[in-house]
Amino acid sequence: METDNPKEAVLYRQIEGRKVQCGLCNWRCTIAIGGLGRCRVRKNIDGKLYSLNYHKLCAANPDPVEKKPLFHFLPGSKSFSISAPGCNFQCVFCQNWHISQSAGQISGKSFAPKEIVELAIKSDCKSIAYTYTEPTVFMEIAADTAKIAKQKGLANIFVSNGFMTKEALDFSADWLDGINVDLKAFTENYYENLCKAKLAPVLDTIDYIANHTKIWMEITTLIVPGQNDSDDELKQIAEFIFNTCGHDTPWHISRFYPQYKLTDTEPTPEATLLRAFDIAKSAGLKYVYIGNLRTKNADNTYCPKCKELLIERDGFCVIKNRITNSQCPDCGEKIAGFNISLPIKLS
């Protein structure tokens, strides 16, 4: 697996025998000369670690920020979304498996960081999202782009599996404004069997973001029938978010559809998602949303105090945003988020 113009990696150290150890994610891969990390896009070349996907973007386009999903981050705005191949997980239900699990030749198009920012501005985007695959494994192009974006007044967003190290979060502290972390389940068995990964580092990451950074965070859980949909597990996730992050952290409960290697499981029943919604509310979470399923009220934002409608959505489209100065205009309750009362242009 080769690529032209590899970029020297960030956050690695050289160790004995011309090996290197990557410090970006919690696998902390030790890589011999010629070897690859678990993500398959970082390579030891002559005793130095290089990113093979810096010049290989496989997506660069504007999206509604709600698609990330982020419902309390510049609502109603567009986010310029970029991605590079590779991932440090191997989820059997990955919807972007053709780019995250690619093997062999790494393909994509080269974009200069300045060019990405210019495209975002031309597209009337308020932020840049590093998404579709795991942004941790394309940290170099993300960082170079994000620093320019901040200078131009744009925000930066990660959509992540949460497996990055504390060092990676500290590295991004000056330019990362928001993140959606995928908390896939609450058992090590699920992570091991369905994702070839581990749960504990993800919980540590969520804790660190919530309590040691200024990054706005929202959490998503894909509910897979028969895997992570029991009342006990849903309650554990909700209580973890409440106790670790606080009641203001939005939780997106997402509907599963069969794809990639998990095609013998039916889509998540609507009743399961509504049950999860009720469990989350009973646990004390103020902002709970159901994704991948049109519902009457579960994609809107309501004031947690007076229950009045604040943000009305139709899918990923914001129809109305009544929040003023980050407060409910009816009762004055503070509504959590990142520039949540941003004026939007309605088409």
Per-residue pLDDT at 347: 35
The answer to whether 32 and 44 are in contact (CB under 8 A) is yes
Q: pLDDT per position in the chain (347 positions), as tens?
A: 445 679 999 999 999 999 999 999 999 999 999 999 999 999 999 999 999 999 999 999 999 999 999 999 999 999 999 999 999 999 999 999 989 987 667 889 999 999 999 999 999 999 999 999 999 999 999 999 999 999 999 999 999 999 999 999 999 999 999 999 999 999 999 999 999 999 999 999 999 999 999 999 999 999 999 999 999 999 999 999 999 999 999 999 999 999 999 999 999 999 999 999 999 999 999 999 999 988 878 999 999 999 999 999 998 999 999 999 999 999 999 999 999 986 654 43
Decide if 166 is inside a domain: yes
Q: How far apart are CA 107 and CA 174, in angstroms?
A: 30
82 and 179 belong to one structural domain: yes
Decide if 243 is inside a domain: yes
Decide if 151 is inside a domain: yes
Per-residue pLDDT at 2: 47
282 and 200 belong to one structural domain: yes
64 and 177 belong to one structural domain: yes
Per-residue pLDDT at 103: 66
191 and 328 belong to one structural domain: no
138 and 247 belong to one structural domain: yes
Domain that holds residue 204: 59-297
Decide if 1 is inside a domain: no
Per-residue pLDDT at 1: 43
Q: Please state whether beta strands 30-31 and 42-45 pair in parallel, antiparallel, or not at all (unpaired).
A: unpaired
Decide if 200 is inside a domain: yes
Decide if 143 is inside a domain: yes
117 and 188 belong to one structural domain: yes
Decide if 2 is inside a domain: no
Number of domains in the chain: 3
Per-residue pLDDT at 137: 96
Per-residue pLDDT at 295: 81
The contacts of residue 18 (CB under 8 Å, 6+ apart) are 32, 33, 44, 46, 47
234 and 329 belong to one structural domain: no
The answer to whether 252 and 276 are in contact (CB under 8 A) is no
Which domain-ending residue is among 297, 323, 338?
A: 297
CATH code of 189's domain = 3.20.20.70
Q: What does the DSSP assignment read for 216-284? A: EEEEEEEE-TTTS-SHHHHHHHHHHHHHHH-TTS-EEEEE---BTTB-SSPPPPHHHHHHHHHHHHHTT
Per-residue pLDDT at 297: 81
268 and 306 belong to one structural domain: no
Per-residue pLDDT at 342: 63
Q: Is the peptide bond before 69 cis (omega within 30 degrees of 0)?
A: yes
The answer to whether 69 and 42 are in contact (CB under 8 A) is no
271 and 321 belong to one structural domain: no
128 and 38 belong to one structural domain: no
124 and 219 belong to one structural domain: yes
Question: In whole angstroms, how far apart are CA 5 and each of 52, 54, 109?
Answer: 8, 8, 12
Decide if 345 is inside a domain: yes
285 and 259 belong to one structural domain: yes
Per-residue pLDDT at 346: 40
